[in-house]
Amino acid sequence: MKKFYIIFLFILFSKIYFFITLNSKIILCTIAKMENLYIREFIEHYKLIGVDKIIIFDNNNKDGERFEDVINDYINNDFVNIINYRDCKMCQYHSYEECYNKFKNKYDWFLFFDVDEYLILPNYKNIHDFVNDNRFNKFDIIHVNWIFFDDNDLIYYDNRPLQKRFIRPRHFIKKNYKNYLIKSIIRSRLSKLKFTNSHTPKGKYKVCDVTGKKVRNVPVLKDNPAQLNLNVPYLKHFNCKTVEEFFNNKMNRGFPDEFGVKDFKKKMSKDYFFYENNWNSIKEFIADLLIFKYYNKKK
């Protein structure tokens, strides 16, 4: 009889655990500036894969564009919350920490992704199906690899979705092209997080990659077996888009962290752009024109 009760309790608790995990709540946190052209597609992608809530830290200039102009329906139905970080300088890490501390009692998993990063989930129905995979049960953080998608040899912005315009993973084109950086999906059971980079929180946590393999808690991981693998979950990273979008939008937007500010000229250079995209004379002409326009305006 005692054995029967033990088995009964085991089954009962297993079902309770399964119900809880199946109904886990997932929130995405992002900080964004000058993203009105792209924010709706970003929101609709994450809604489609099952995210329950999106928090946007509005880092636009005080008199700059407003997300309410393009996603007011999502704000009104409370799928998206906007938090005012307008005119805030170098505050990406603080926004992540604020989001985690404010909402960790309401949500089970946090996604810390940028507006140009799209989580792709091969072999999973949705984000809930992914994070509730038994392989992740003992881990606090899941690291997801970036995979860069290049400009597809387009020159100018057009209003097609990003995932329709840019379909070419860079490592398929440039031999030996590598990207070792990750972004994090984090459980809510942790104590206060401290971010010193935008990729993963500082501290000793139990961390795995998207295959469930234990990895080190570092933003750059060269021995990650999930690297550049399109058959496991990954982040489509539309870092550059077209030459027009890269030099026009990014130069005027700036960076939300001190590393971007420190390396601004390096990251806004033609060398940087053409490492990630094919060169041609038209692209270089547009790049030179926009670089000249930006620095001439600063004088």
The CATH number of the domain holding residue 184 is 3.90.550
**291 neighbors 251 (Cβ within 8 angstroms):** yes
Residue 259 scores a pLDDT above 60? no
Q: Write the CB contacts of 53 (distance below 8 Å, at least 6 apart in sequence).
A: 25, 26, 27, 28, 79, 80, 81, 103, 107
- Which domain does 293 fall in, by range? 243-298
Q: Measuring CA to CA, which residue among 110, 84, 79 is closest to residue 96? A: 110
* pLDDT per residue as tens digits for the range 93-120: 999 999 999 999 999 999 999 999 999 9
In a shared domain, residues 122 and 250? no
**128 neighbors 26 (Cβ within 8 angstroms):** yes
In a shared domain, residues 225 and 266? no
Is 91 domain-assigned? Answer: yes
Q: Measuring CA to CA, which residue among 8, 54, 52 is closest to residue 28? A: 54
In a shared domain, residues 183 and 142? yes
The stretches of 67-156 forming alpha helices (DSSP H) are 68-76, 92-103, 127-131
More confident residue, 67 or 175: 67
In a shared domain, residues 263 and 227? no
Rounded distance, CA 165 to CA 83, Å? Answer: 30
Is 4 domain-assigned? Answer: no
pLDDT band at 19 (very low <50, low <70, confident <90, very high): very low
In a shared domain, residues 185 and 38? yes
Whole-number pLDDT of residue 264: 73
Rounded distance, CA 68 to CA 225, Å? Answer: 41
Rounded distance, CA 113 to CA 111, Å? Answer: 6
In a shared domain, residues 265 and 123? no
Whole-number pLDDT of residue 226: 76
* pTM, 2 dp: 0.89
In a shared domain, residues 49 and 102? yes
* Overall domain count for the chain: 2
Is 7 domain-assigned? Answer: no
In a shared domain, residues 68 and 126? yes
Give Rg (Cα) of the chain.
21
Phi-psi region of 203 (alpha: psi -120 to 50; beta: other; left: phi over 0): left
Beta carbons within 10 angstroms of residue 261's beta carbon? 13
Q: Could you give the angle at the alpha carbon of 158 between the alpha carbons of 174 and 82, nearest 5°?
A: 100
